[in-house]
């Protein structure tokens, strides 16, 4: 709760499917703090799935409402917050993260293909997953790294192991 003196929310960033929500919930439980996920907030506010928002309104619209969701979530929350994989693309969203302990959960392309496979609910991976993943990682790796205070690799690790590594890194 705001004013409880626990400091700013811990923010998890990284590509889709890396485990931000699973690890974030575990981390929050271990810390006795709340967990929030901006994708969930957006779906609740819009009343439709993210894939529909992408198709109906386009990515720029999504990034705008995502920025508003991140701003709202950070203002009213001192627990653990998971962001969508593309949130760091927006400079305004990145600026919102400056005062927070941000942890980048990373994975390599092989791990990404293995984990997300044929998940059509993720609109950016609809065709040629491996090539798309390589391009996505190349475009975003620097933004994730620059936005984060710590990088925790998830390759070959269970969510519990990743949560512990995040605690160690904070
Ligand atoms: C996106 C990642 C998704 C979701 C949207 C766009 C991206 O979030 O915000 O589909 O651009 O990488 P997750 O990382 O929670 O899957």
Ligand 1 pocket check for 63: Cβ under 6 Å: no
CATH superfamily of 10-169: P-loop containing nucleotide triphosphate hydrolases (3.40.50.300)
Residue 61, pLDDT > 60, answer yes
Express each pLDDT in 101-110 by its tens digit: 999 999 999 9
Q: How far is the centre of ligand 1, averaged over its atoms, from the C-alpha of 5 (Å)?
A: 31
pTM over 0.90: yes
Q: What is the pLDDT of residues 91-133, one digit of tens each?
A: 999 999 999 999 999 999 999 988 876 555 566 666 677 888 8
Q: Decide: 50 in ligand 1 pocket, CB within 6 A.
A: yes
Ligand 1 neighbourhood includes 115 CB (under 6 angstroms):
no
Tens digits of residue pLDDT in 62-80: 999 999 999 999 998 889 9
Residue 164, number of CB atoms within 10 A of its CB: 17
Report the pLDDT value the prediction gives residue 5, as an integer from 0 to 100.
53
Q: Which residues fall within 8 angstroms of residue 10, CB to CB, at 6 or more apart?
A: 27, 31, 79, 80, 81, 100, 101, 102, 103, 166, 170
The full set of domain ranges for the chain reads 10-169
């Amino acid at each position: 709760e705001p004013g409880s003196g626990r400091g700013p929310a811990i923010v998890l960033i990284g590509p889709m499917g890396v485990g931000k929500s699973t690890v974030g919930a575990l981390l929050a439980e271990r810390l006795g703090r709340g967990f929030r996920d901006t994708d969930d907030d957006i779906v609740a506010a819009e009343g439709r799935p993210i894939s529909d928002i992408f198709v109906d309104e386009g990515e720029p619209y999504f990034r705008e409402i995502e920025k508003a969701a991140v701003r709202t979530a950070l203002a009213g929350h001192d627990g653990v917050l998971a962001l969508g994989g593309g949130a760091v693309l927006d400079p305004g969203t990145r600026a919102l993260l400056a005062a927070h302990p941000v942890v980048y959960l990373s994975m390599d392309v092989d791990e990404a293909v293995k984990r997300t496979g044929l998940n059509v609910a993720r609109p950016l991976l609809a065709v040629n997953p491996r090539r798309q993943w390589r391009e996505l990682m190349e475009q975003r790796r620097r933004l994730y790294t620059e936005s984060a205070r710590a990088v925790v690799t998830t390759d070959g690790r269970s969510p519990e192991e990743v949560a512990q590594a995040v605690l160690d890194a904070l």
